[in-house]
Structure 1
């Protein structure tokens, strides 16, 4: 069979049609798949770069679940800290209620009246003010002198032979001793101020004109007062023990001297405080319970667990991660002792004002510790959330970059296909014209 011989014009137009059809097929495939690079054959550099970028994007996306779990774990611990803080604040409230009941638990002893109604009438002062303004004594005094309109009066101590005074205070295991000079101008107010310098008791003159010595805690309080002619530094416990009369201070008749004027009080039990003990201990136990329940997905940063959040797809030294070592939060670790009704080391004696003050300081310290821990958790949470947002954005950048290398532009490909369709039509017309031209030549020989 003889080969068909095509003219040059027909062959060129036919070749153009074949090329156009092939290009149409490529563009139609791009539009169908949405990709301009579907295999390494299309563009090896873009193809393998896109695969690498997509792989990394996929790995980072997979890490987002771990980051999200880590964030929730930190938030669970943070919520636990918030709850424990509220419990500690409730403990503070309980302590304040106990302290509000303190007055009836402080041992107090009042002496006799240092002023009378006749003195208030002549001086136009209250019993309290008359008593505070009275002098301790006067040179050569043998008996007390009443206040007048022009004189404050005195308590009858001979300041010629008794030039100094001293007192001794014992509260629990704490003792305070002091002495000071007596002068012609020393008043009851001065005595009150000297006693108050001890910090262990409170001395005051009440509205009845009586000198009171009150303990600041509910522990046993012992108080003694004496006068003598030795120097202030020499009047110590020996003279306070009973060698000098203190009848001028007007404690009870049985208190004829310092040796028998000592206040001795036993611990006083308050029913109100006793009832608050159970409330305090119950709140304290709830701290431990709340800390144990602050876990997420099996990790509890308030029970000493460790949390690791991985931020990149690498391993070994190149891996980026956030390691958070949790703390074991318990009432004991926060320095909050249990409350009891008696004095015992390591516990809060709710009947003791000083123990309550120490408990207040301990709770304040606990809040500071919780605040510090909350700050640390907040800082770590901020880091984790920042890295979460960064990872999302980076994964999007990688995916977009990979797409830019291999994805087809529908508008561009559509325009190209339209141009090829037009070219195909023109090529078909040109082929037809070339074929007609060949037939016209043949007709010349017909």
Structure 2
């Protein structure tokens, strides 16, 4: 059965119901923090915010991949730093070997050019007697070659020579060795002059020791061949020196310099030998360190590749950075293994030229490492920039979505307070309207 309500009661009741509905909506906004909870509330804002949030979530999902990629690059960069330190240690090892160079210079001492009898006759030291002797026998009389109180004597090089010459060969000239040839005037030339000429070469030195022996010593560790010759002019003397024709007169017992006239070969240095193991150990550690420079199974120093995706799109619209690694090891850096002998492709620690080559190898390795580090550094800068940009972009999208659907808590709280006040007033009005209907009861 329908209940009839007076117009006043019905209006008051409608007002209370409307206010209650509004209060419920405000309370829902305060509870959820959103003023648009469904498409019914505001279709445009609802779907726009949903799209913005979806893109923000996709970008945030890419951040993990970027982070892994950045860590992979940083791991490779740390590996390069470690390898660089090891190469610097290799340089120190080579410098130690080079500092010991003077200990293994090839040296040849000839027979004594002065005798005890000459020492007694001249009252000079054997060294001074040998240095003062003429090189050329001016009268071809072998009986007066000895030094006396009035004569300096001579070593007996061919009579009548106008020019003398020296020929010095270090190592193999065809494989990077050196050759020095020079002629000088034979007249009044002494052993001292010969010593000076040898010292001018820059590839060998000479001196006469206290025993009166002429010593020829290489400035490097390469085998040294020395020849003395004479002739009617400089060219003829040089040709003669190339065969070492006059070597025997200055105390060297080998005449044919071109085949067996070896002044001396490098002496094996124990210090250099001990440094070989240290050098090769450091070289091996370069390979091991590079192998350990990976992150999450990806190693850019082992030739792996890493790709960093920067946007949520696919296909040709996708933006990504692909970084191709390189296989980093001692061989690829051009650092050859150290040995104690001359072997193709290896570094002979007993050989000065090989040590210089090793220094060049290490300098080249450092240049390669700097270039590789620069490349990775540039890629890392790009990756970090894009990571920061993606984080900021995701925040912008989230904030934009929130601005479209989020409720203003202060405003909604004020609305609720106002509605509650109106609700109380409406309830009071409804009560007054009911009292008017109850007035009929007073008639009974």
| TM-score, with length taken from structure 1 | 0.78
The alpha-carbon deviation at position 343 of structure 1 amounts to 1.2
What's the counterpart of residue 6 of structure 1? 6
Q: Look up the match of 2:303.
A: 304
The reply to whether residue 335 of structure 1 matches residue 337 of structure 2 is no
Match of 2:205 among 203, 206, 228: 203
Paired residue secondary structure (1:236): helix
Structure 1 partner of 2:122: none
> Distance between the aligned counterparts of 2:196 and 2:51, measured in 1?
85
1:418 maps to 417
Residues 190 and 301 of structure 1, relative CA distance in 2, 3 Å threshold: farther
Quote how far apart the aligned CAs of 1:14 are: 3.0
- Checking the alignment, whether the CA contact within 8 Å between 2:79 and 2:290 is kept in structure 1 is yes
Q: Which residue of 1 aligns with 2:226?
A: 223
Match of 1:396 in 2: 395
Cα deviation, residue 268, structure 1: 2.4
Cα pair distance change 1:223/1:64, threshold 3 Å:
same
For residues 185 and 26 of structure 1, do their structure 2 counterparts lie closer, same or farther at Cα, with a shift above 3 Å needed? farther
Which residue matches 1:124?
Answer: none
Q: Residue 106 and residue 245 in structure 1: after superposition, are their counterparts in 2 closer, same or farther (change >3 A)?
A: closer
Conserved in 2, the CA contact under 8 Å of 1:227 and 1:245? no
Distance change (3 Å), C-alpha of 1:445 and 1:266: same
Distance 1:430 1:205, change over 3 A: farther
- Structure 2 residue runs of 5 or longer lacking an equivalent are 120-126
**Residues 41 and 383 (structure 1), Cα distance of their counterparts in 2 relative to 1, 3 Å cut:** same
Residue segments in structure 1 that go unaligned for 5+ positions in a row: 118-126, 147-152
**2:166/2:182 contact within 8 Å kept:** yes
Kindly report which structure 2 residues correspond to 1:208-287, keeping only aligned pairs within 5 A, or say none. Answer: 213-230=216-233, 232=234, 235-242=237-244, 251-252=250-251, 263-287=262-286
Q: Distance in 1 between matches of 2:247 and 2:269?
A: 36
Partner of 1:176: 179
Structure 1 residues 94-103 or 365-374, which shifts more?
Answer: 94-103
In structure 2, the CA distance between the partners of 1:434 and 1:30, relative to structure 1 (3 Å rule), is: same
Task: Indicate the residue corresponding to 2:359 in structure 1.
Answer: 360
> What is the 5 A alignment of 1:67-146?
67-109=66-108
Matches of 2:195 and 2:48 in 1, distance apart?
A: 90
The residue aligned with 2:124 is none
Distance 1:321 1:392 in 2: 16
CA RMSD of aligned residues (A): 4.2
Q: Which residue of 2 aligns with 1:372?
A: 371
Deviations 1:348-396 (A, max 9, x none): 1122111111111111111221122122222222222222222222222
TM-score, length-scaled by structure 2 = 0.79
Mean CA deviation greater in 18-27 or 421-430: 421-430
Distance 2:252 2:345 in 1: 42
Count of residue pairs brought into register by the alignment: 420
Aligned to 1:345: 344
Distance 1:424 1:243, change over 3 A: same
Q: Secondary structure at the match of 2:264?
A: coil
Change (3 A) 1:421 1:245: closer
Please say if residues 135 and 185 of structure 1, whose CA atoms lie closer than 8 Å, have aligned partners that are also in contact. no
Deviation at 1:255, TM superposition (A): 8.1
- Cα deviation for residue 196 of structure 1 reads 5.9
User: Is residue 222–residue 265 contact of structure 1 (8 Å, CA) maintained in 2?
Assistant: yes
Contact 1:228 1:239 in 2 (8 A): no
In 2, Cα distance between the equivalents of 1:345 and 1:40?
80
Do the aligned residues in 2 keep the contact of 1:162 with 1:182 (CA within 8 Å)? no
Partner Cα distance (1:45, 1:60) in 2: 23
What is the rounded CA distance, in whole Å, between the counterparts of 1:81 and 1:259 in structure 2? 50
- State the distance in 2 between where 1:38 and 1:172 align: 90
Q: Contact 1:334–1:369 at 8 Å: present in 2 too?
A: yes
